[in-house]
Chain A
Amino acid sequence: MTDYKMKPVEGTIHFDGAQATKGFNFNKMCFSFNNEDARQAFLADPEAYMEKFELSEEFKQALRDKDLNKLLELGGSIYYMAKLAGIFGWNMQVIGGMQSGRTTEEFQAYLDSQGRGKTTNG
């Protein structure tokens, strides 16, 4: 049998078929946020909007809690969760901090500690 099992990587959930199956409704809801009317409808009544997409109670609670790591664990995809950024006014550094247990400033400092100064040009 072909071995297609992916090696685990710490701090990372591979978004594979199993995750995509579990998270389909949630990701479908986030996909709808490409549309401004949908974003406004969510903001006006998040509970009704989540219900419309038949989210499980676990998903609903994780979203109420804005627990991004829980949403990933349940089957969320970061590509679709990024669309929550427009709704909640986050950017990727805010999201990075929320997931890695850092303030936004600490997350930016973590990024900078690995990169700034490593510029090559030519």
Chain B
Amino acid sequence: MAKIIGGITTSHIPAIGVAIDKGLEDTPYYRDLFAIYPPIRQWLNEEKPDIAVLFYNDHGLEMWLDKKPTFAIGCAPKYENADEGWGIKPIPPVTGETELSWHIVNHLIENDFDPTVCQDIKVDHGATVPMTLLWPNHSYQGIKVIPVAINCERHPMPKPSRSYAFGKAIGDAIRCWERDAKVVLLGTGGLSHQLDGPRAGILNGDFDNYCMDKLVSDPQELCKFSNVDLIEKGGAQMVELAMWLAMRGALGEGIPEERLRNYVSPISNTGVGVQLLIPEE
């Protein structure tokens, strides 16, 4: 049977991708942020997951306003990425895992979630920046990826409780897949930031750390927030907590071990949190 071996939360800020392109990892501005990734990569190298289920949000590359899915699952054999308009370099395509993708889709619909099913999508920096951070120099060829997109762009967006439940259903699907495979979950985006309007630049380190604490010990507390609550506390794009909650839902109900944590603020306009969570046996 498939086994979920861990969950990783990480930012996907484009500026981080640009910093990697320019070799700025060891400069004073970025050093504290990048310091957390070598131990996470070491864990990945030791555990060697076969598949990564990657929760992200599309920022207007593939899922534009003309057809904007609330929840979408990639069922493709590979995923390309592309120019997004402001200079981050595309990376080689990532390989998909269609069999598990379809298993998840079938399981979800049997269990009353009805996602959009995507057999041909490009993924944006929401997916490629985490891939580059975790498998640098395009070293992700040994791992298959299933991208799962959550709308964080246009209201109405799924409620935090619903993203958690969606993730939980995906976790249940993975755990009942009759293949021996090690699966790692990636929850990307966040934490506090607001890019738009006169309130642009708001950060809330205390709330970010509260969210990281509760993500481990009591994610139901975070499910009590509405999206507007998150916007008030952590800015308009704090709603990206959706992907963290989906990851945590998929990880299972027991309290995981928090193996690693890092929080640096600001990177670009964002409070950046990173965690490695290991589920209960």
A residues bordering B, Cβ < 8 Å? 4, 6-7, 9-17, 20, 24, 27-28, 30-31, 33-36, 39, 69, 72, 77-83, 85-87, 91-93, 95-96, 99-101, 107, 110-112, 114-116, 118-122
Contacts and interface: CB of A to CB of B under 8 A. Distances in A.
Interface in B90-122: none
B2 interface: no
B140 interface: no
17 contacts: A9-B232, A12-B194, A12-B231, A14-B228, A15-B155, A17-B156, A24-B65, A34-B82, A34-B85, A79-B60, A82-B59, A83-B85, A86-B85, A92-B15, A92-B195, A96-B269, A110-B201
Given A9-B228, A92-B15, A72 B263 contact: no
B196 A36 contact: no
A35 B83 CA distance: 7
Contacts of A122: 260-262
A71 to B, nearest CB: 10
A27 B269 contact: no
Given A12-B194, A16-B154, A91-B15, A111 B86 contact: no
B67 interface: no
B197 interface: yes
A108 to B, nearest CB: 9
B262 A120 contact: yes
Given A20-B65, A111-B201, A118-B265, A9 B231 contact: yes
B155 A86 contact: no
A115 B153 contact: no
Nearest to A5: B228
B80 interface: no
Nearest to B263: A120
Instruction: Give the top 4 A-B pairs by smallest Cβ distance, nearest first.
Output: A11-B199, A115-B265, A83-B85, A78-B196
Contact of A31 (B64, B83, B203, B263): B64
Given A14-B155, A17-B156, A82-B195, 17 more contacts: A6-B155, A9-B236, A10-B199, A11-B197, A12-B196, A20-B154, A77-B65, A83-B60, A91-B268, A92-B268, A96-B200, A99-B198, A110-B201, A111-B203, A111-B269, A112-B266, A114-B204
